[in-house]
Amino acid sequence: MLKRIFHSKAKKPPSALPTLEKLNETLEMLEKKEHVLQKKISIEIQKAKDYTKSKNKRAAIQCLKRKKLYESQVEQLGNFQLRVHDQMILLEGAKATTETVDALRTGASAMKSIQISLNVDDIDKTMDEVNEHRENMKQIQEALATPVGAAADFDEDELEAELEELEEAELEEQLLQPPERGPETSLPSTNVPTTGKLQPTSDVDELVALQAEMAI
């Protein structure tokens, strides 16, 4: 019971940041006091010189005594500043250590949460789904890569007949073209009728005679 009461009344330890700010303020105050004392020491030294010139030895000695007192205070303030600096260094190190430990603790907690959320069975299931999707995509790509009409069934006889028609049309087109101009050749007199026209003996002869007649 008493332990609980004492724990409830116990104050929480101050954080490092406000304490460092307070130490900085204290250090600035000590430095200002030291600066004031240094000015007082300079004044007492000057006064001692003036009294020495005026042959007032007693007053000069009093100035030197006050100077000694001020110097002892300056020395004391210097020790105070060293203590404050030492405390600040310790607190800064403790602050860095605390922040490092907090960061490591946060990282460990996050890692624990991640491990809890992960399950070996879930990972295996996920990998199976990934492999299945990859296989399906591979099949789709192979299907898209197949040339159009590669798998169609054509009638070979129909293709042969169409090819013959194309060949005949090509031959007729060549025969209908006018012959090139060249040296004139005489035709056999037996094929030339008295009317001046060629007497065809076949379809090809008729076409040749027609072309010759047109050339004339």
Work out the average pLDDT over 94-123: 86
pLDDT at 6: 45
pTM: 0.45
Q: Which of 18, 64, 16, 56 is nearest to 40 (CA)?
A: 64
Work out the average pLDDT over 60-85: 94
Q: Which residue has the higher pLDDT, 182 or 40?
A: 40
| Mean pLDDT estimate for the chain | 79
pLDDT at 14: 59
Q: How far is CA 21 from CA 15, 27, 84, 181, 206, in A?
A: 11, 10, 12, 114, 122
* Whether residue 56 has pLDDT greater than 50: yes
Q: Identify which of 12-16, 36-40, 172-176 has the greatest average pLDDT.
A: 36-40
Q: Which residue has the higher pLDDT, 46 or 162?
A: 46
Residue with tokens 């042959």: 55
pLDDT at 178: 67
Q: How many angstroms separate the CA atoms of 16 and 167, rounded?
A: 101
Long-range pairs for 41-46: beta carbons < 8 A, 24 or more residues apart: 41/67, 41/70, 41/71, 41/74, 44/70
* Whether residue 13 has pLDDT greater than 60: no
Q: Which residue has the higher pLDDT, 213 or 28?
A: 28
- 118-142 pLDDT per residue, tens: 777 777 888 888 898 888 888 888 8
Q: Which residue has the higher pLDDT, 50 or 205?
A: 50
Q: Which residue has the higher pLDDT, 159 or 135?
A: 135
Q: What residue segments make up the domains of the chain, in order of their start?
A: 16-121
Contacts of 201 (CB under 8 A, 6+ apart): 191
pLDDT at 5: 47
Domain 16-121: assigned CATH number = 1.10.287.1060
- 23-33 pLDDT per residue, tens: 999 999 999 99
For every residue of the chain, which 3-state class applies, written as one string?
A: CHHHHHHHHCCCCCCHHHHHHHHHHHHHHHHHHHHHHHHHHHHHHHHHHHHHHCCCHHHHHHHHHHHHHHHHHHHHHHHHHHHHHHHHHHHHHHHHHHHHHHHHHHHHHHHHHHHHHCCHHHHHHHHHHHHHHHHHHHHHHHHHHCCCCCCCCCCHHHHHHHHHHHHHHHHHHHHHCCCCCCCCCCCCHHHCCCCCCCCCCCHHHHHHHHHHHHHC
